[in-house]
Structure 1
Amino acid sequence: MDFRVFLLAISAITVGLVELVVGGILPVIADDLDVSIGTAGQLITVFALVYAIAGPVLLSLTAKVGRKKLYLIALAIFLVGNVFTYFSPTFTFMMVARIFTAASAALVIVLSLTITARIATPQKRAKALGYIYMGISSSLVLGVPIGIVLTNAFGWRSVFLGIAIMTVGSILLIAKFFEEIPPGHVQPLAEQLKALANKKIIFAHLATMFMLAGHYTVYAYFTPFLETTMQISPYWISIFYFLFGLAAVGGGVFGGSLATWIGSTKSILFILGAFAVSLFILPFSTFSIPVFIIVMMIWGALSWALAPPQQVYIIESDPVSSDIHQSFNNSALQIGIALGSGIGGVVYSQTNSVTIMPPVGGVIVLIAFICAAISLSIPISKKIRASVNQ
């Protein structure tokens, strides 16, 4: 394996940390910046929205720029965004900083994937891309407990200072070990959008979006949920997040194995149905810590289990445009995060209750189930079948 792939994976981990790390420290940030928890939750919403849009747009706009040069520019902007976050005197200032970090993070992740595909040998390409995806997923699910530990020890701003220091390391490594990489061919954004005419895939993207929306209606406010319903200390909250993260990483393996066993279509419906049930059960499991941990880890595993069968399903449904659709599916995931954290913020602000969030999230996941069922009911178009058989 080309060791440069591991350098790209390190960069993916670094930029991935910044997205959801605020979820575990929302009450601390809200208190320090003098805003409500619901308002502070919009830091996740705005980040996810900008991330979803910025990836494909910035990649198209920078199509003629050398990949190494563009990668270093994106990391530099990401570094500045985190430094600004560290010094943010107000919530508005921090929100602006989050916009810059989201846009640059989206570009870094897309470039990490495209550069990896180019530098890895064909025989090792899938495995190399797997390292990048593993870096992304691990940073998303394990960044929260790490952020809680750092916040308890040094304050919430130390989290972003740490990410900034890691970014400096990534910049130095990329600058030293990578030669300039030609831009290559990037499909125009208008051509990419044409692929969205496939209704079968559109509903698959909607299923991803609504599943993540239901998930983050709860997960974005999991800290106040634990504080209110379980009355546990920050130390135990960090342990809960860590256990959730381990379950989520294992969930990807479970989803892939399930898809191999019963097929992608059955796996999608099973995972979405079980995920909705786990959210409905969650508030009723808080009477016992052991019971809650079991339900929480099932919820955590299912939260990342959909990705493998969904990617297989997308490839099977439209092999010709699968790369484009996988990019859009990632955007749908980010829009789902934004939508869920936004809905959670509104629900929390209006009801001042965290126990109502899991059933609200469960209802949203049921919408995802319906979208998936509609997608599965639509046959693959004759045009796509013909292009595959050619």
Structure 2
Amino acid sequence: MSDYSSPGAATPASRAAVLPAAVHLIAIGAFALGMASYVTAGLMPLIAGAFAVSMAMAAQLVTAFTLAYGLGSPLAVALLPGRAQRAGLLWALAVFVLANGASALAPDFGALLALRALAGIASGVYLALGIAAAAAVAAPEQRGKAIGMIMGGMASGTVLGVPLSLLLAERLGWAAALWLVAALGALALAGLLCRLPALPAAPATALRRRLALLADGQVLVILLVSLLAAIASLGMYTFVAPLLAWSTGGAALPVTPFLWAWGLGGIAGSMLVGYWADKVAAPTLTQTILLLLALALCALPLAAAWSAWLMLAPIVLWGAAGWALQVPQNQQLLAVRAAQGDGNLAIALNESALYLGSAIGAASGGLLLLLDWPMWLLAAGAAVVAAAALLLQLCHARSG
């Protein structure tokens, strides 16, 4: 028997205070995923030149990745046997690594397009299974912290990893960025092969019964809240530069500090929310975060009317709330579907809702700008959508 009172030995309390190594390794994979999700947009000029295609054609690489991620990954998770949760996670990460490495070696643009779609499916499967695995291996009182660690890894990959990989691409060519993504994914894979324990097997059910979760009213409300929040938060992110131009009256002002503020807020929110997620009921935490998101979006045009630099404060809060929201949302999905054992599929659908919401928000905002709506009204509209998500969450909590 282990003697936890011996010098240097960890006590049960101290062990519970530290997340398992597997959670940190899954987060490293999520960091690579965050890079892969957004780096292609920055590589488009280099890729267009390398393959002699137009920028419009190069942009389809982003479309292929996001569509495969949002539409293909839930189906792949649904088809995964319940007893293969650990193997599914490892295989998804292995395919992600191979797809990014192969992308760097793609002989033509068509092959690159197909490989980005494959990377997108693998990314969605990995994140859904990774969040469920992190919650499974963590102590019950640390599940929120574990999910926050994974979301923080993805946020960090987006905010810190993408600029690093683009800098590498400028010096060594566009393929170097994808090699970096593949290398980080391979590092996580090697660690998980050694440190990821067996995961609880989900009940063996037919595909039709798994998809029946779409008839679960609780799941639908959670997904709709995520969709509305993504329309407001991720949709508005598309228009940071136009909002900045409106604030300055067209005067030149670098947009990078504002994007960094949003991203760093996202990292902080993802990491810090884990502490509260283990102490506050997930529905209550979701309500609080949605309120902060609505207030931040509402404050954007007010701050912009005074000074563009004053927008930094609400932008940080906006980024923090937008990224933090998915921790209690995923917690709720795992809790609601615990008995059925298909929480990972619910999480995959939640990720699809985020991508769909981002697309709807960007398209709606673009349409409003074409109709010559004032920029401040666009930000206010995003705040209204966030408030609608809050109202839906409140009504659902009362009815429950």
C-alpha contact (below 8 Å) 2:300/2:379 kept by paired residues: yes
- 1:203 alignment partner, one of 196, 203, 221: 221
Offset, 1:362: 5.0
C-alpha contact (below 8 Å) 1:314/1:322 kept by paired residues: no
1:109 alignment partner, SS class:
helix
Identity %: 21
TM-score by length of 1: 0.72
Offset, 1:131: 3.2
Which residue matches 2:55? Answer: 35
Which residue matches 1:59? Answer: 77
For residues 244 and 298 of structure 1, what CA distance do their matches in structure 2 show? 8
User: What is the correspondence of 1:181-200 to structure 2 with a 5 Å cutoff?
Assistant: 181=198, 184-186=201-203, 188=205, 189-199=207-217
Unaligned runs of 5+ in 2: 1-18
C-alpha contact (below 8 Å) 1:7/1:170 kept by paired residues: yes
Amino acid at match of 2:292: I
Report the CA distance shift for 1:150/1:348 in structure 2 as closer, same or farther (over 3 A): farther
Which residue matches 1:294? Answer: 313
Which residue matches 2:292? Answer: 271
Greater alpha carbon shift after TM alignment, 206-215 vs 91-100: 91-100
C-alpha contact (below 8 Å) 1:12/1:132 kept by paired residues: yes
C-alpha contact (below 8 Å) 1:41/1:345 kept by paired residues: no
Offset, 1:224: 8.7
Offset, 1:137: 3.4
User: What is the correspondence of 1:61-80 to structure 2 with a 5 Å cutoff?
Assistant: 61-63=79-81, 66-67=84-85, 69-80=87-98
Amino acid at match of 1:298: L
For residues 182 and 136 of structure 2, what CA distance do their matches in structure 1 show? 28
C-alpha contact (below 8 Å) 2:29/2:185 kept by paired residues: yes
For residues 240 and 110 of structure 2, what CA distance do their matches in structure 1 show? 23
- 1:104 alignment partner, one of 122, 140, 161: 122
Report the CA distance shift for 1:105/1:309 in structure 2 as closer, same or farther (over 3 A): closer
Offset, 1:100: 0.4
User: What is the correspondence of 1:107-122 to structure 2 with a 5 Å cutoff?
Assistant: 107-120=125-138
What RMSD over aligned residues (CA atoms) do the two structures have, in Å?
Answer: 4.6
For residues 7 and 343 of structure 1, what CA distance do their matches in structure 2 show? 33
C-alpha distance after superposition, 1:272-329 (max 9, x if no partner): 42243145457657x64x324334323322322433554566689x586697568535
For residues 393 and 129 of structure 2, what CA distance do their matches in structure 1 show? 30
C-alpha distance after superposition, 1:164-196 (max 9, x if no partner): 222233333344x25884772256443343333
C-alpha contact (below 8 Å) 1:41/1:341 kept by paired residues: no
Which residue matches 2:395? Answer: 377
C-alpha contact (below 8 Å) 1:13/1:136 kept by paired residues: yes
- 2:31 alignment partner, one of 8, 13, 16: 13
2:55 alignment partner, SS class:
coil
C-alpha contact (below 8 Å) 1:22/1:147 kept by paired residues: no
C-alpha contact (below 8 Å) 1:251/1:301 kept by paired residues: yes
For residues 354 and 323 of structure 1, what CA distance do their matches in structure 2 show? 49
- 1:212 alignment partner, one of 230, 235, 238: 230
For residues 124 and 328 of structure 1, what CA distance do their matches in structure 2 show? 20
Offset, 1:267: 1.6
C-alpha contact (below 8 Å) 1:213/1:364 kept by paired residues: yes
C-alpha contact (below 8 Å) 1:74/1:105 kept by paired residues: yes
1:185 alignment partner, SS class:
coil
TM-score by length of 2: 0.71
C-alpha distance after superposition, 1:130-163 (max 9, x if no partner): 4334323332443343344334444444321211
How many aligned residue pairs are there? 373
C-alpha distance after superposition, 1:365-388 (max 9, x if no partner): 53343244234324666xxx7xxx
For residues 319 and 70 of structure 1, what CA distance do their matches in structure 2 show? 19
For residues 97 and 282 of structure 1, what CA distance do their matches in structure 2 show? 43
Q: Which structure's relative contact order is higher, taking Cα pairs within 8 Å and 6+ residues apart?
A: 1
For residues 332 and 87 of structure 2, what CA distance do their matches in structure 1 show? 35
C-alpha contact (below 8 Å) 1:213/1:361 kept by paired residues: no
Matching of residue 363 in structure 1 with residue 381 in structure 2: yes
Report the CA distance shift for 1:112/1:273 in structure 2 as closer, same or farther (over 3 A): closer
Amino acid at match of 1:299: W
C-alpha contact (below 8 Å) 2:267/2:323 kept by paired residues: yes
For residues 63 and 375 of structure 2, what CA distance do their matches in structure 1 show? 16
Report the CA distance shift for 1:193/1:6 in structure 2 as closer, same or farther (over 3 A): same
Amino acid at match of 1:99: A
Amino acid at match of 1:107: V
Amino acid at match of 1:297: V
Matching of residue 336 in structure 1 with residue 354 in structure 2: yes
For residues 111 and 371 of structure 2, what CA distance do their matches in structure 1 show? 28
C-alpha contact (below 8 Å) 2:44/2:55 kept by paired residues: no
Greater alpha carbon shift after TM alignment, 240-249 vs 20-29: 20-29
